Amino acid sequence: MKKTLLLAVVLILSCLGAKAASYFFSPSEAASLKALLGGGELRPGDRIILRDGVYRDLGAFDFSARGSLDAPVTFCAEHPGAAVFSGPLTIRLSGEYLRLEGLLFYKAWSAELCLVEFQKEEGVFASHCRMTECAIDDCNNPQKSEVAIGRMSSSISGEFWLGLHGTDNRIDHCYFANKRVGGLTVQIWLGEKDYLNNHRIDHNVFGYHKDYQGNGAETIRIGNSWSSQLPSHTLVEDNVFLHCDGEIEVISVKSCHNTVRRNLFYESRGGLVCRHGHDNILESNTFIGNDIDGTLGIRIINQNQTVYDNFIARTGGYGLLVRMGVYERPTAETDTELEPLTSYHRVENADIAYNWFFGCREINLLSGFGDKEPRHVRMWHNVFTGPADCFRVEHADLIPGNFNFEDNRYSLADGARPPFDGGFTPLEVEPDWAALERARVLDLMSVGQGPSWYLPCRTDRDQIIGHYR
C-alpha cells in the first residue's frame, strides 16, 4: 500500500513537472529572453510571450527546442502586432515543432544573412516548424544598396528575410512587403541531408518589392543552381503577389518535384519560372498584368514540367515562354564544369493544357541562345487571344516534330491566325472575359491571405478586390 501511494505521488509530481509553462518578457528583459530561447530548457507546450513594445537591436540569437505535434513550443506576441522587432536581428530556429506567431518585424534587418533562418548551424536545422500570422515590413539594412552593384553576389550586397532548411516547415498567413535591397524574400535551401523539404508556403500576401535592377531579388526561390537536380517537394499555394517587382523571376523554381498552385500574381513585373529542375507542376494560378511593361506569365525550361489551368491576362511581356536549351539534362556522368548547372537545359516532355492566355503581348516559343530545341511539348486545349503578332517563333522550322498542338482555340486581332499548321481553330464564341477574370480573382481572394491584424495587409487585399466590385 505504501509503495502504491509513493508511486502515485511520484507520478503526480512528474506530471506537474512536465506541465507546460508561459513565460512573459518585456523589451527591457531581452537578455533573459534570449537565454531562455536558446538554453535548451523549454518543454512541449511552453509559450514565450512578448509584452507590447519595441524590441530593438537584439542581434543574432537561437530559438532551440523540441515541441510535439499536439504541443508546439510557441514564441508569440501577447497582442498580435504590438510586439515589434527593430534594428539588426537574426532568429535561428532549430529543433522540432516550434511556432512563431503574431510577431511584427518593422524596420529590422538581418544581423547575419537571414532575418529568420530555420537552422542554427549547418546540419542543425528546424523541422515541423511554423511561422504564422506574422508580418515583415520595410526591413532593409540602411547600409546596403537598393540597386544591384555590378556582378556582386546578392548574398553580399543584400539580405534574405526567410531562409528555410530542414523538412515539413510551414509559412502561412504572413505579410511580406517593402523589400528594397537585394536578396530573397524567401529562400528554400536544399542540402545533402535535408533536400526532401516538404515545406508549405500558403495563404500569405507578398506586397511591394522594389525593382532591384539586377539578379538575386526573387520573392521566392526554391533551391539553387547547384542543388537543382534534387527533389524538394515544396508546395506554394493560395498566396497573393502584389507589385512584386524585385526582378524578372517572382518565383524561381530551381529544384524538382514542386507544386505551385492557386496563387494570384497581380501587376507584378516578373513571372513564374521553372529555371532549373524537373517534374514541377504549375496549376490554377492567375496572372493579371493590366498591360504594365514587365508583367509576365510562365517561363518553362528543363523537363517533365506540367502547366495546367492557369489564367494569364494582359501581360506586358510574355504570357508563355518555352525557350531553347544549351545542354541536355545533367546525369551522374555530366561534367558540370563543362556544362554548368547555371545554364539552360533542354525543354522536354512538357504538358501545357487547359490554360487561358487573354490579351498577352507575347507567346514566345523557341527563343534564346543554344541549339537544344524543345522536344515532346504538348500544347492541348488552350485558349489564346491577343495582338495579331503575339506569337513569336524564332525557329519555325523546329516546330514540326517537337511541338504537338491539339484542340487549341484562338481569337487574334485583325483576323490573324497562329503561325502553325494544325492544332488551332478559331473561337466561335468569345467568353465573357471580364466575368471570367473577376470570378478567378475573387475566388483566389476569398481564402483569407495574410495576418488579419495588420492594416497594410488588409489595404493591399482591398486594393485588388476593389477592382472587381
Q: What is the 3-state secondary structure (H, E, C) of 397-445?
A: HHCCCCEEEECEEEEEHHHCCCCCCCCEEECCCCCCHHHHHHHHHHHHH
Asked whether the beta carbons of 187 and 162 are under 8 A apart, the reply is yes
- Assess if residue 198 is contained within a domain: yes
- Assess if residue 152 is contained within a domain: yes
Residues forming a β-bridge with 53: 83
> What's the grid cell of residue 454?
495588420
Residue 191: its pLDDT value, please?
84
Angstrom distance (rounded) from CA 446 to CA 332:
46
Query: Beta-carbon neighbour count of residue 456 at 10 Å?
Result: 18
- Assess if residue 11 is contained within a domain: no
What is the residue whose three cell numbers read 490554360? 355
> What's the grid cell of residue 432?
465573357
Domain ranges, residue 364: 54-466
- What number of residues does the chain have? 469
The helix or strand, by DSSP H or E, that contains position 436, with its residue range, turns out to be: helix 433-444
The amino acid at residue 180 is: R
Residue 172: its pLDDT value, please?
98
> What global pTM score does this model have?
0.95
What is the residue whose three cell numbers read 526573387? 218
Residue 10: its pLDDT value, please?
37
Residue 192: its pLDDT value, please?
77
Residue 2: its pLDDT value, please?
47
- Assess if residue 205 is contained within a domain: yes
Residue 11: its pLDDT value, please?
38
Residue 112: its pLDDT value, please?
94
- Assess if residue 375 is contained within a domain: yes
- Assess if residue 383 is contained within a domain: yes
What is the residue whose three cell numbers read 541549339? 371
Query: Beta-carbon neighbour count of residue 258 at 10 Å?
Result: 25
CATH number at residue 166: 2.160.20.10
Which pLDDT tens digit goes with each residue over 277-305?
A: 999 999 999 999 999 999 999 999 999 99
Residues forming a β-bridge with 389: none
Residue 15: its pLDDT value, please?
43
- Assess if residue 180 is contained within a domain: yes
- Assess if residue 83 is contained within a domain: yes
> What's the grid cell of residue 227?
542543388
Q: Alpha helices, DSSP H only, in 127-175? A: 154-157
Residue 5: its pLDDT value, please?
47
Total structural domains within the chain: 1
Spans of the chain, pLDDT less than 50: 1-17
Dmax over Cα atoms in the chain, in whole Å?
97
Angle value at C-alpha 251, between 227 and 253, nearest 5 degrees: 25
Residue 153: its pLDDT value, please?
66
